Amino acid sequence: MTKVKSIYKTMEYGPAPESATAANEWLDKHNREFGLFIDGQWQAPQSAKYFDSINPANKKFLAKISEANKKDVDKAVKAARSALPKWVKIGAHARARYLYALARQIQKHSRLFAVLESLDNGKPIRETRDIDIPLVARHFYHHAGWAQLRDTELKEYKEVGVIAQIIPWNFPLLMMAWKIAPALAMGNTVVLKPAEFTSITALLFAEICEQIGLPHGVVNIITGAGESGAAMVNHPGVDKIAFTGSTDVGRIIRRATAGTGKKISLELGGKSPFIVFDDADIDSVVEGVVDAIWFNQGQVCCAGSRLLVQESIADRLYKK
């Protein structure tokens, strides 16, 4: 009798035609070592510290990533502050053009992004290729459209200012798009820190910002762990903190920002209910329940971790 464990070890699940060659060539082109992207320039960290990014699927080394300290963060925030007046002044239509350009470059390099994301994060290539990266491009297109409407439909709103953005490792590039695209569309400048485990695609995005000629200081990408993020949260030049991550860290950020006047948005761990009524297609529900909790290995902020079922169909559903 075939054992699940033996299948797990021998069966090649979901083979894909993508090769890692282009991704490895890109990493080699950078000597597998990355600085910080501040004020439109690549800079060595003032801490002189680096940490390794590895492929979690096989533990192989991918690249050395800079660890930003308080001085690096201060430099990035000041660059964003300096860039803010001009970014606001060019107007929403001009900002929309930059967002459209970013979307097109993401599409152009979609295979490279997808493979790098899979190598760095460990998720299957068909998730990065078919879900994550296409959605990243769509979000930049979407918010480019909102930027075009900024001066007519959103006249009563104004930019917040310099936004510090801290994102997790489960959807690295997609989380980055959710943070950066709307902020730029509305006239803000940003300092973004990806998770220390999954920084590489954010650094490729920084390279694309260079390629399209995005004004210096509008987007700054710094890398590092908790201390780097804490320096961003506590910096007096930041107008808003946008954080996605654990509830515990969210509490720390809330305490740190209390009384400072900084705006804050927190997307933290939740207990998301999956609700089933008696008119549902039960077979589809079973499939949906499994997808809801196990998609992306369950590493999703809105994973369906509770099941609320109408009593009249409960036993039937549980059995299935």
- Angle formed by the axes of helices 21-29 and 110-121, nearest 10°: 80
Residue 234, CA distances (Å) to 16, 195, 271 in order? 44, 18, 29
Active site residues: 267, 301
Say how far apart CA 27 and CA 25 lie, in whole Å: 5
Say how far apart CA 181 and CA 1 lie, in whole Å: 52
Q: What CA dihedral angle connects 287, 168, 205 and 137, to 10 degrees?
A: 30
Residue listed under structure tokens 């320039």: 41
